[in-house]
């Protein structure tokens, strides 16, 4: 990846686009398809739940996207199509849930062809393991991808949820090599934030980007300054995500007002870092920002990002009166819902056929397998991404 295609430059030039898959959104096929489509449309960051199975699905999509980016550029879906940063969302005040597959091997008919064993990417499903004489799901290996569930001819595989603390899960998800982390917090949770930050430990130094997401509240600005004092100095870039009206972006044009208003409030705080909108963002957001003169070309030196010398502690610039980018969650997902429903219908039909024949030749239908649906999805995603990308320097 060249510097001209580095997602951090989108921050400095004021046209940063982030897709929020959702901190509790764990529908793996949808996460994979959304990641693929928005990557090819030119997104700078993909934000997913702090769940190993979700992270794995997003990574798989990014691998596929890397081979399709040249085609995307030729088709005009963003000359800036690139591999975005993969971000995970951590919450300093809630316990994350994780799922694993389970089944009773005693219920498996002897004549079953065991397609679950063949499809498991983690090799977590075994039958009559020679050394341990074990049959079933090896819990330590299973990361909950769910591929075994629809393929079981007898519908006996299910998932169970397990709960962990934010502090315990932070090292686990950060060890997967993600590029960025977003920490969700609220005014008054400084001690909870501090515990999570300490649990992240040395992994922080490996991250390219830290984002802090906080809704409005009394003494918000004082709280954000306290957070910065806690985490400074940073080697990575820093984003303040203004969570205006969470999970409301697909409702209407009025919801973007709260997001913009909160963005303005945080800008006045003159915090080091970049301000990025979220919560209530939709197709009206960029137009609103442009009308208010809140989007612009920052034209900041590359050295300020530490890109030329990754080991240098970056002096995180403050663009003062400008919004650096926009994150889209529910609106971005709903925008592609028609394509995702068509793809899901194909997958269900295919799974039903497999159950009937008990064949394992091909078990799933991925978005890239249907070129018509793929480029429909990218076209829809690009209609949103291109709104803020019109701010970029040519």
CA–CA separation, 44 and 98 (whole Å): 27
What gap in Å lies between CA 140 and CA 169, rounded to an integer?
14
Q: Is the pLDDT of residue 386 over 70?
A: yes
User: Which residue reads 């809630």 in tokens?
Assistant: 94
Query: What pLDDT does 390 receive?
Result: 81
Give the tens place of pLDDT for each residue, 282-292.
999 999 999 99
Asked whether residue 3 carries a pLDDT value surpassing 80, the answer given is: no
Is the bond leading into 233 cis (omega within 30 degrees of zero)? yes
State yes or no: pLDDT of 262 exceeds 70.
Answer: yes
Q: Rounded mean pLDDT of 330-353?
A: 80
CB within 8 Å of 42: residues ≥ 6 apart: 17, 77, 78, 80, 81, 82, 382, 385, 386, 389
* Domains of the chain, first to last: 3-95+178-335+374-389 (3.20.20.70), 97-162 (3.30.70.20)
Tell me what percent of the residues of the chain surpass a pLDDT of 70.
81
280 Cβ contact list (under 8 Å, min separation 6): 244, 245, 246, 248, 249, 251, 255, 256, 257, 258, 259
Inter-residue contact 389 to 15 (CB < 8 Å): yes
Query: Which residues are CB-contacts of 258 (< 8 A; sequence separation ≥ 6)?
Result: 244, 245, 279, 280
Band of pLDDT at residue 248, cut at 50, 70 and 90: very low
User: What mean pLDDT, rounded, does the chain reach?
Assistant: 83
pLDDT tens for 69-82 read: 999 988 888 666 78
Q: Is the pLDDT of residue 362 over 50?
A: no
Task: Say whether pLDDT at 349 is over 70.
Answer: no
Task: Output phi, psi for 98, to 5 deg.
Answer: -130, 150
Of 384, 366, 389, the C-alpha closest to 32 is 366
Q: Which of 152, 162, 98, 164 is nearest to 125 (CA)?
A: 152
Report helix angle 337-357 to 28-40, nearest 10. 130
Q: Kindly state the tokens that stand for 266.
A: 């945080």
User: Region 131-158: what's the mean pLDDT?
Assistant: 83
Q: pTM, whole model, 2 decimals?
A: 0.80
pLDDT per residue as tens digits for the range 147-194: 898 899 999 999 887 777 888 888 878 888 899 999 999 999 999 999
């Amino acid at each position: 990846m060249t510097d001209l295609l580095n997602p951090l430059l989108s921050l400095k030039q004021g046209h940063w686009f982030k897709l929020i898959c959702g901190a509790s959104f764990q529908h793996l096929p949808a996460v994979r398809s959304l990641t693929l489509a928005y990557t090819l449309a030119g997104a700078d960051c993909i934000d997913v739940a702090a769940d190993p199975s979700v992270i794995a699905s997003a990574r798989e999509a990014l691998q596929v996207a890397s081979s399709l980016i040249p085609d995307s550029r030729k088709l005009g879906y963003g000359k800036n199509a690139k591999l975005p940063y993969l971000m995970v969302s951590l919450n300093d005040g809630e316990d994350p849930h994780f799922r694993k597959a389970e089944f009773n091997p005693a219920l498996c008919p002897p004549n079953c062809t065991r397609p679950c064993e063949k499809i498991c990417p983690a090799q977590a499903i075994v039958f009559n393991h020679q050394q341990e004489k074990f049959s079933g799901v090896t819990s330590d290996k299973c990361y909950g991808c769910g591929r075994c569930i629809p393929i079981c001819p007898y519908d006996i595989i299910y998932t169970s949820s397990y709960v962990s603390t934010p502090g315990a899960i932070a090292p686990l998800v950060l060890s997967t090599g993600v590029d960025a982390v977003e920490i969700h917090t609220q005014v008054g949770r400084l001690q909870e934030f501090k515990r999570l930050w300490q649990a992240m430990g040395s992994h922080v130094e490996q991250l390219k980007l830290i984002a802090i997401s906080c809704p409005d509240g009394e003494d918000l600005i004082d709280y954000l300054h306290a957070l910065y004092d806690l985490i400074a100095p940073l080697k990575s870039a820093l984003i303040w995500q203004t969570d205006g009206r969470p999970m409301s972006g697909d409702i209407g044009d009025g919801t973007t007002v709260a997001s913009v208003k909160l963005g303005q409030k945080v800008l006045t705080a003159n915090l080091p870092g970049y301000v990025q909108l979220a919560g209530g963002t939709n197709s009206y957001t960029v137009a609103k920002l442009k009308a208010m003169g809140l989007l612009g070309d920052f034209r900041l030196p590359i050295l300020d990002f530490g890109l030329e010398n990754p080991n240098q502690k970056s002096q995180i610039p403050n663009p003062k009166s400008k919004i650096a980018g926009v994150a889209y969650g529910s609106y971005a997902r709903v925008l592609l819902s028609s394509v995702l429903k068509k793809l899901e219908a194909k997958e269900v039909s295919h799974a039903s056929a497999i159950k009937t024949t008990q064949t394992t030749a091909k078990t799933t239908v991925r978005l890239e397998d249907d070129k018509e649906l793929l480029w429909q999805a990218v076209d829809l995603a690009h209609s949103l991404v291109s709104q803020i990308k019109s701010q970029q320097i040519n």
